[in-house]
Amino acid sequence: MLADLERLIELQQVDLRLQELTRQIELFPQRRAEAEQELARARQVVADGRARHTESLKERKKLELDVKSIEERVRKHKDQLYEVKSNEAYRALQQEIEADEKLKAQAEDRELEAMIAAEELEKQIKAAEAELARIEQRVAAALRQLDEEQAERQKESAEHTAQREALRRQIEGDTLAVYDRIARAHGGIALAEARDEVCQVCRIHIRPQTFVEVKRNDQLHYCESCHRILYYLPATPPGVEQPVEAGT
Ligand SMILES: [Zn+2]
């Protein structure tokens, strides 16, 4: 096989792997951000629960004060009952006392509701905190895993880049220029395998005479349809003796 063609085949493999590695490396910030978003969401659930709990405590405190001030007013009015001179004033005071006692009962009901709601919130917060702890562990492990994966990809990428440079130095300048031009124009794929008289990239039939020439691999041929450099890989030669199991 033409030495440059052999190197081009290798170069294409290295280039394709480099493309894939670059794509993967570019995805790492996004993958990290996704893991961190999950953590942020879990933290927000806990923070929201705590904020609602604080609100609920404030509400309860306010209701407690309401009840106290109503009680105070009722006590005053009850004392005044002994001092009023007319029946009308007495009845008016009694009505106020009754109205206040209703208000007090309502405030106490709401206080009880707030207490029950706070207990329910406390349960929810505990559950959200437990979930957060689990997610923190999982995300920390996922981030460590991503760090390791990224380091591996970058190491492999550096190795491939070095291999790429070494290969390119061995390929004749004009051939390399052709390779680069086709690769740029065709999604990074400059070479196409010719197999069974078909270009394996664009699936177009190769003329028998061209195929015969391509099979020699002794000069560069181009696919008439996709214009890539064609190469031929001989199949495992037939007639190679297969080991036969003894006794069969
Ligand atoms: Zn083609």
- Delimit the CATH 1.10.287 region(s) of the chain: 16-170
Band (pLDDT 50/70/90 cuts) for residue 241 is low
The residue that leads in pLDDT, 109 or 246, is 109
pLDDT > 90? residue 244: no
pLDDT > 80? residue 247: no
N residues, the chain: 248
Question: pLDDT tens digit string along 184-235?
Answer: 999 999 999 999 999 999 999 999 999 999 999 999 999 999 999 999 998 7
pLDDT at 248: 41
Question: pLDDT tens digit string along 141-167?
Answer: 999 999 999 999 999 999 999 999 999
Pick the CATH number of 16-170 from 2.70.98, 1.25.40, 1.10.287, 3.40.50: 1.10.287
**Could you tell me if 100 and 113 are in contact, meaning their C-beta atoms sit under 8 angstroms apart?**
no
Distance (Å, rounded) from C-alpha 170 to C-alpha 70? 96
Question: pLDDT tens digit string along 15-33?
Answer: 999 999 999 999 999 999 9
Distance from residue 88's CA to the centre of ligand 1 (Å): 109
CB atoms within 10 A of CB 217: 19
Q: Which DSSP helix (H) or strand (E) runs through 215?
A: helix 208-216
Distance from residue 201's CA to the centre of ligand 1 (Å): 5
Distance from residue 19's CA to the centre of ligand 1 (Å): 21
Distance from residue 197's CA to the centre of ligand 1 (Å): 11
Distances (CA, A) of 153 to 22, 159, 163, 167: 9, 10, 15, 21
Distance from residue 164's CA to the centre of ligand 1 (Å): 24
Distance from residue 238's CA to the centre of ligand 1 (Å): 27
**Could you tell me if 66 and 110 are in contact, meaning their C-beta atoms sit under 8 angstroms apart?**
no
Question: pLDDT tens digit string along 86-108?
Answer: 999 999 999 999 999 999 999 99
User: Which 3 state secondary structure label does DSSP give 193?
Assistant: strand
